[in-house]
Amino acid sequence: EPNGLVTPFRLTPCLVQFLTPVGIIGRFMAVVQATAAALLSRRSALSERLIDVLWDDVFERAAAARGTSGTFEWYADVSDEVTKVTRELAARADERVSALDYELDASKVGNTPSPLQTLISQSVGDQLAQAPPAFRPWW
């Protein structure tokens, strides 16, 4: 890098090619961003971030099922449902991430070619985790 700053390597620009207007307009983008932010942040769980994204969907479905439009007498039921759904989604995501078994230890990184080793070290560096969640130049 010419200015001396290390820029974190990001794979997400490649994902933009696969996104359709349905994914961008709907909740898909918010879920992807929440998942990415939870994976980058070492302080928060995925279920905590997904609650914000999924709250409106579960709330609207519960209101439609009960035939009401915005009464809060059944707030506790919906709150429990949101918590249950987000925990299930977080558990599924954790299972898939752990199934990848993508642990970067010194023995695996040492056998990789030099350019790839540089990209890996930049992609898992502390600077990437310190990037603010609002900083998403690829969206």
- The rounded distance, in Å, linking the Cα atoms of 128 and 45 is 17
The pLDDT tens digits of the residues spanning 30-66 come to 777 777 777 777 666 777 777 777 776 777 777 777 7
Mean pLDDT, to the nearest integer, of 117-139? 60
Task: Answer whether residue 7 is part of any domain.
Answer: no
Q: How confident is the model at residue 1 (pLDDT cuts 50, 70, 90)?
A: very low
Q: Collect all residues with Cβ–Cβ distance below 8 Å to 110 and sequence separation of at least 6.
A: 117
Inside any domain, residue 6: no
Can you give the residue range of the structural domain that contains 115?
103-133
Are residues 124 and 80 part of one domain? Answer: no
62 contact partners, CB below 8 Å, separation of at least 6: 74, 77, 78, 81
Residues 95 and 116 reside in one and the same domain: no
Q: What pTM did the predictor assign?
A: 0.32
How far apart CA 114 and CA 49 sit, in angstroms, is: 36
Whole-number Å distance between alpha carbons of 78 and 49 = 17
Round the average pLDDT of the chain to a whole number and report it.
64
Does residue 80 sit in the same domain as residue 128?
no
**pLDDT > 60? residue 90:** yes
Residue type, 70: G
Mean local confidence (pLDDT), 70-76: 55
Our count of domains for the chain comes to 2
Q: Which residue has the tokens 């987000």?
A: 86
Percent of residues, the chain, with pLDDT higher than 90: 0
Of 117 and 18, the one with more pLDDT:
117
Range 70-86 average pLDDT? 65
Mean pLDDT of 126-136: 59
d(CA 42, CA 27): 24
